[in-house]
Amino acid sequence: MLKKSLKVAAIAMTLVFVFGIGFKALSQGPRSIPGVNADDKFPKGCVSCHTVVDGKDHKVSTIVKAIADAVTPELLAKAQASSPEGLTLKGKHPKVPTTEVPKKCMMCHSKTSKTAPAFSRLMHTIHLTGATNMFMSTFQGECGHCHKYDKATGDWNLCNGTE
Ligand code: HEC
Ligand code: HEC
Ligand code: HEC
């Protein structure tokens, strides 16, 4: 009888230590996650971030115009890596409108496309890979700058906007 209650007490003490003290020591408090528990500075996603900054034009319309002439080797390498099997990119983009980005982009960049990389893979490789990626260094690789969290329903939606 005594032995059994000692055993129970030992288990209880272990649980208190692991979950009580152990977790408390590890806890650093919540990190700030834009759109979840911190301000969302880019409510329209792509077009909120791709603007003119310090006189430098980062607009999606400007990028799309530039790649209709020529694609830089860095961008082409990332786009090629995210392309479906069997597709070799030409390095020249068709002329396209930039109303409703990325909704309109995804018409061609669908998951089943044989001629263009799927937009999820293309956007993820462009923004989340590379040792000197500015989206990682300047914007902390935040998923929530493109994917928007709906606190009321728990849904994550890809955000859409016009320049
Ligand atoms: C919070 C800021 C931010 C958001 C939101 C964002 N981007 Fe970007 N984007 C960047 C940065 C920074 C780069 C440069 C990455 C690098 O250093 O290679 C970039 C690069 C790009 C490039 C490649 C440009 C080039 O010439 O190499 C394209 C295309 C692009 N973004 C399109 C989009 C689209 C479409 C969306 C929405 C689905 C989007 N971006 C959302 C910041 C953003
Ligand atoms: C009419 C169809 C179409 C639409 C709409 C479209 N794309 Fe593309 N995209 C393509 C094709 C085809 C390629 C592959 C081009 C190649 O072979 O280099 C491509 C490739 C790309 C690449 C890789 C670089 C390149 O040109 O190879 C980027 C970046 C890109 N698209 C961004 C966008 C963005 C941003 C939008 C929306 C504003 C968009 N695309 C809308 C068809 C489209
Ligand atoms: C630059 C914009 C951008 C950023 C940043 C971004 N995503 Fe995405 N993500 C997209 C786009 C575009 C799609 C395609 C949505 C569609 O097809 O409906 C997508 C789709 C997805 C999907 C659905 C699966 C798929 O392949 O379609 C998952 C899962 C996902 N993203 C996870 C993440 C995570 C995790 C992060 C952060 C580490 C992240 N994304 C950051 C643009 C982004």
Q: What is the pLDDT of residues 117-152, one digit of tens each?
A: 999 999 999 999 999 999 999 999 999 999 999 999
Asked whether 161 lines ligand 1 (CB < 6 A), one says no
Nearest residue to 77 (alpha-carbon basis) of 147, 129, 3, 30:
129
- CA distance linking residue 50 with residue 55, whole number of Å: 12
Asked whether 64 lines ligand 2 (CB < 6 A), one says yes
Confidence (pLDDT) at 11: 65
Residue 109 has pLDDT above 80, yes or no: yes
7 falls in which pLDDT band (50, 70, 90)? confident
Is residue 1 within a helix (H) or strand (E), and if so which, with residue range?
Answer: none
Residue 49 has pLDDT above 80, yes or no: yes
Q: Whose CA is nearest to atom 43 of ligand 3?
A: 146
Pocket test for ligand 3, best of 48, 78, 147 (most atoms within 8 A of CB): 147
Pocket test for ligand 3, best of 41, 44, 109, 124 (most atoms within 8 A of CB): 124
Exposed (0-12), middle (13-18) or buried (19+): which is 151, by Cβ within 10 Å? exposed
Asked whether 34 lines ligand 1 (CB < 6 A), one says no
Ligand nearest to the CA of 109: 2
Ligand nearest to the CA of 98: 2
And the tokens for 70? 């020529």
